[in-house]
Chain A
Amino acid sequence: MLRRLLLTSVFASGLALTAQAADQVEVLHWWTSGGEAAALDVLKKDLESKGVTWQDMPVAGGGGEQAMTALRARVTAGNPPTAVQALGFDITDWAKQGVVGDLGAVADKEGWDKVIPAALQGFAKYDGKWIAAPVNVHSTNWVWINKKALDAAGGKAPESWDELVALLDKFKAAGITPVAHGGQPWQDATIFDGVVLSLGNDFYKKAFIDLDPETLGSAKMKEAFDRMAKLRSYVDANFSGRDWNLASAMVIEGKAGLQFMGDWAKGEFLKAGQKPGADFVCIRFPGTQGSVTFNSDMFMMFKVGEDKQKAQLEMASAIENPTFQSSFNVVKGSVPARTDVPDTAFDDCGKKGMKDLAEAAGAGTLMGSMAHGYGAPAAVKNAVYDVVTRHFNGELDSDAAVKELVAAVAAAK
């Protein structure tokens, strides 16, 4: 009974494999919301014009958690999709399982090594081989300020921590919520990225990339938590559990002064018909000018049969095409993953983002975002989330938070 069942299912999956067309890519992703889907459509059309059919496999859910669960099932069953949207250390983790493909043929021909920043290569390559094609670069250390509120408070964008605090006090005096924030662990951690980075590039690197226990337990880290506690005093009472786009809406409507959020927030402002510079202002987190904490969406390529490799390479090449990089990222709100794409099609914030990225890549201050899985693997990232969110919600004071952070990171490593 059981054996027959097994035999039938093996036979059935064999059939399914052979039934697939040669020039076809199956793509697992979580870009299902309006703007994201529109951006992805650019790639789909591009590939279809080259005769490659696109088999869509969308799995909705913000950070791709559900998508990664679906992927586990497919890989365990021995039938991975051609390409999978993935982030940071997830890519490295999959590569360790020995299931990813090799894009060397395209990457060498097109010279990816020269145009894609080294910090991104650290994730898109494993063991010296290209395994993923980076689509874009988001950076997380942005502040989005309501222009009207800023003008009312003197009109000068803050450049240091003290200036930021002064500005927030003025917002408070003006009767608006100073900081629009959503109390979800990843949002708390996104602010923490900026706060830690504002205390120095080396400090950020040692703490979040090298995970050095001494730095994690240092007095400077306590200072970072103190700053978080200070920022906590500027959010409204009803912040917990709020989605990030609702927080953006508060800034757009002028109910709140500013929001700390990655550049995907720009899409919300643009959708509401606002113009950068005129209605809202984008600046780097005060004290982090010249540095960028990034997260980058990549398409990770899996090991597939030879019949599908051609389409896979075709797709990788299409993703790194400068024209596509420009048109996709204009729609998505991020900046191109290669530094040689002209910035003419981008708005002011986009242009600034591209300039900052190129500068930071040159100066070695382009670092992975801890909050978004580019600083450390998922286990460590979530351990940091735990401590930051508990501290932000008042469960731990700054001294205790520093101790917990050291212990939590050590336990998760």
Chain B
Amino acid sequence: MAQAATAPSTRNYLQELLPRLVLAPSFAAVIIFVYGFILFTGYLSFTDSKMLPSFGWVGLENYSKLWALPHWWRALGNLGIFGSLYIVICSVLGLGLAILLDQKIRAEGVLRPIYLYPMALSFIVTGTAWKWFLDPGIGLEHTMHQWGWESFSFTWIKDRNFAIYTVVIAAVWQSSGFVMAMFLAGLRGVDNEIIKAAQMDGASNITIYRRIIIPMMRPVFLSAFVVLAHLAIKAYDLVIALTGGGPGQATELPATFMYSYTFTRNSMGIGAASATIMLIMIASIIVPYLYSELRTGRRS
């Protein structure tokens, strides 16, 4: 910057301008289509919009209606179950797999992509495949019965008390390989000298992992948490493909709630209010994360 200011030749000026020019269209597009529409949605949540956006100001009415709906509470409760189980199981499985793969085993190059591939599928594919697999009439239970295990029963997907856990199963299957890859990268980044020093002090493998390596993976845990948390909050396609929100409303999540109120129930105001709440939830996770990242970034 300072150099360019002291020698403002045309060439330097252009050089400095070029990146900005190249970035400007996409920057403008992001400003309008992401942040502009976020503001627009926020505004709509204070209006009497029904089928199409309209601009009659109603204050906080949509929010009070939203929080009075048992359907919304249901969605939030499900998100609590789904989100916490999804994040915890994915992290534990991912870390476990990463540690096992990190033992300098043979054929790691084959195993790693096998675990990672589910992430390449869309949630719609995962949901549909698991729907068939879990359906008692055609899937696992049916097959077990055909194989002669008549008493086998697995009907969670049809049971309103357990259906939400099938969503967890499918989502974990999809994402834990990805979390594994994140942890594996983290493990590979741990300084070998430290481990060797610990080994020389006579620490067992378990202690090394527990006291040294896993604590050093704090940033990876944080990244995994942020990635998984926002995936959980915006989960929509998986539920639609797997259960359609049923049985009854047993697997409704805030995202499916938002879509149905905005687009099929002609209550765009309430839909916008729920979208705003979801944004606040995501922001409350991402903003502290970004803040701490930026702070450590500046320090180093």
Where the two chains meet, the residues of A that have a C-beta atom closer than 8 Å to any C-beta of B are 1-2, 65, 68-69, 72, 75-76, 93-94, 97, 183-185, 237-241, 377-379, 382, 386, 389-390, 392-395, 404, 411-412
Contact = CB atoms under 8 A, between A and B. Distances in A.
Contact of B70 (A75, A394, A404): A404
Contacts of A240: 158, 246-247
Given A237-B136, A386-B249, A76 B52 contact: yes
B263 to A, nearest CB: 5
B71 interface: yes
B248 A379 contact: no
Nearest to A183: B247
B160 interface: yes
A120 B248 CA distance: 31
Contact of A238 (B51, B131, B137): B137
Contacts of A393: 160, 246-248, 250
Nearest to A65: B264
B158 A379 contact: no
B265 interface: yes
Contact of B28 (A1, A185, A411): A1
B267 A241 contact: no
B69 A411 contact: yes
Given A65-B263, A97-B51, 7 more contacts: A94-B51, A185-B246, A237-B158, A239-B158, A241-B246, A392-B248, A411-B69
Contacts of B264: 65, 68, 378, 382
Contact of A241 (B65, B155, B244): B244
Interface string B194-213: 00000000000000000000
A2 B36 CA distance: 14
B135 to A, nearest CB: 7
B248 to A, nearest CB: 3
Contact of B52 (A75, A184, A394, A411): A75
B247 A1 contact: no
B160 A184 contact: no
A184 B28 contact: no
A87 to B, nearest CB: 12
A249 B137 CA distance: 15
A93 B267 CA distance: 12
A379 B266 contact: yes
Interface in B174-214: none
A389 B249 contact: yes
- Could you tell me the dominant secondary structure of chain A's interface residues? helix
B234 interface: no
B265 A379 contact: yes
A308 B264 CA distance: 30
Interface string B225-259: 00000000000000000011011111000000000
A68 B50 CA distance: 13
Given A72-B52, A93-B50, A238-B136, A184 B266 contact: no
Contacts of B12: none
Contacts of B135: 238
Given A184-B246, A237-B158, A393-B248, A378 B69 contact: no
B25 interface: yes
Given A75-B52, A97-B52, A382 B260 contact: yes
Contacts of A395: 160, 248-249
A389 B248 contact: yes
Contacts of B249: 386, 389-390, 395
Of the listed residues A76, A378, A392, the one surrounded by the most CB atoms of chain B closer than 10 A to its CB is A378
Interface in B20-72: 24-25, 28, 50-53, 65, 68-71
Contacts of B243: 241
Contact of A390 (B69, B158, B248): B248
Contacts of B131: 241
Contacts of B24: 1
A185 B264 CA distance: 13
A395 B244 CA distance: 17
A386 B248 CA distance: 8
A93 B263 contact: no
8 contacts: A72-B263, A94-B51, A378-B266, A389-B246, A390-B249, A392-B248, A393-B250, A411-B69
B66 to A, nearest CB: 10
A183 B248 CA distance: 8
Contacts of B53: 76
Contacts of B52: 72, 75-76, 97
B51 A72 contact: yes
B118 to A, nearest CB: 23
A378 B136 contact: no
A2 B33 CA distance: 13
A386 B264 CA distance: 13
Nearest to B155: A237
Contact of A411 (B65, B136, B158): B65
B20 to A, nearest CB: 13
B158 A238 contact: yes
B40 to A, nearest CB: 12
Contacts of A184: 244, 246
The 8 A-B residue pairs whose C-beta atoms are closest, nearest first, are: A393-B248, A240-B247, A378-B266, A238-B137, A382-B265, A393-B247, A65-B264, A390-B248
A76 to B, nearest CB: 7
A183 B155 CA distance: 15
Of the listed residues A69, A76, A184, A379, the one surrounded by the most CB atoms of chain B closer than 10 A to its CB is A379
A93 B49 CA distance: 12
A241 B50 CA distance: 29
A107 to B, nearest CB: 25
